[in-house]
Amino acid sequence: MFKKFFFVSPFILTILFMQCFSAFAEGTLTEKNEISVSSADAKANKETYNHIFQAITSLKDTASFPSQSISYKNVGTIINQVLEDHPEIFYFKHEGTIAYSNGKIELKYKYPVKKIKEMVQNQDAKVKQILKQMIKPGDSDFNKVKAIHDYIVLNTAYDWENYTKGQVPDASYTAYGLMMNGEAVCEGYAQTMQLLLKKAGIEAYFVTGKANGGAHAWNLVKVDGKYYYVDSTWDDPVPNRAGEISYKYFLTPAAALKKDHSWDEKQFPAATSTKYSYFQDFYTVKESGDFFYYSSNKDNQKLYRMKKDGSGKKKLLNVSTPYFVLTKNYIYLSNYSNGGYLYQAKLDGTQLKKINNIHSIDLYVEKDKLIFTNKATGAKGSVKIN
């Protein structure tokens, strides 16, 4: 979470909240003011961190710090670290929180204590529900990360309308808001990813920096001893398209992410593994059994299939296929090598044939019908399928 610290006197520190930002437009957010804590006693720093965490999670009005070892000027940095490490804390209020030079901290909250307790209980229940739904006993680190990434993308709409109006509600910046309302901006995506992964036993970090020139937030995760970056916000299509997931920013090494993201890499473990770089070639992807079917970013959206371990890559169709769906026996696709018309083929890519003369997009299956949108008119259409 981005914060800016404003020193109102030699004795009082007021911590002001700075609004979040969109990953899809350049932002004007002021970067957080880094306050050095290198001179602070390490033991006192840890003690203060723990005391602040306990006070906030117990909803106390005050906390304290050893003023003989830590300057009040460093308290804001410690509070920030508590919040970045614990995305389940959605109710802390920066404005009005004050640290005094005598070691006292006055804490403020966004809601009444009774309401916070109810909201925390609801959040805990939602986390348990999501993990039970998405994580199976014995799941690998990879399966856990992918399941949680996919859940967030499929169940969240980027709060674009409110962002463009400058009216993003506070909830959209939090994991609580994303899980309860299904809507968020990048901070909410990254906090939810961090929270769910940590609860699933995966090491995960909240990362802030810039993307395409705008302030942004994403995650660093650990999978089988190696670190990778994940940007679930940028893997969620805008406008929201039901059932569509991008993997361009899923389990990427730092070198790939740096093409359009910038951050202080030295703050985090090195992410150099390219084991899952094949995900960055997925433009549109669907799963069937042990296989990924995907249109290739590198090959003009031609349709490929590979095993889920990244082996057995095979081109199925030599036509541009940005939109497609799978059924038990068939692939249904918009053939952009021929007007975007609707085609069908067997799952092995054979028996390709045209089934309409309409530029068809946004495909999905509903019972025994393939639903599509007419690109020219915006009207819905359907074709009966096997």
Average pLDDT for 278-294: 93
Split at pLDDT 50, 70, 90, the class of 66 is: very high
pLDDT tens per residue, range 228-237: 999 999 999 8
Per-residue pLDDT at 152: 97
pLDDT tens per residue, range 147-193: 999 999 999 999 878 888 888 889 999 999 999 999 999 999 999 99
Q: How far is the C-alpha of 175 from the C-alpha of 191, rounded, in Å?
A: 5
pLDDT tens per residue, range 104-156: 999 999 999 999 999 999 999 999 999 999 999 999 999 999 999 999 999 99
Q: How far is the C-alpha of 159 from the C-alpha of 354, rounded, in Å?
A: 38
* CA distance to 50, 243, 370, per residue, from 293 (Å): 48, 14, 18
What the block records as the tokens of 306 is: 């590979």
Q: Strand 261-262 vs strand 282-288: parallel, antiparallel, or unpaired?
A: unpaired
Q: How far is the C-alpha of 220 from the C-alpha of 327, rounded, in Å?
A: 35
Give the lowest-confidence range in 2-6, 60-64, 180-184, 360-364: 2-6
Average pLDDT for 43-65: 96
Give me the DSSP letters along 35-88. Answer: ---TTS-HHHHHHHHHHHHHHHHTT-SEEE--TTTS-GGGHHHHHHHHHHH-TT
Three-state DSSP at 202 gives coil
Per-residue pLDDT at 264: 96
Per-residue pLDDT at 2: 36
Split at pLDDT 50, 70, 90, the class of 379 is: very high
pLDDT tens per residue, range 304-336: 999 998 999 999 999 999 999 999 999 999 999
Split at pLDDT 50, 70, 90, the class of 90 is: very high
More reliable by pLDDT, 17 or 215: 215
Split at pLDDT 50, 70, 90, the class of 242 is: low
Per-residue pLDDT at 232: 97
Per-residue pLDDT at 39: 45
pTM, two decimal places: 0.84
Split at pLDDT 50, 70, 90, the class of 24 is: very low
Q: How far is the C-alpha of 25 from the C-alpha of 43, rounded, in Å?
A: 42
Give the lowest-confidence range in 27-36, 41-50, 168-177: 27-36
Round the average pLDDT of the chain to a whole number and report it: 88
Largest alpha-carbon pair distance within the chain?
A: 79
What amino acid is encoded at 362 in this protein?
D
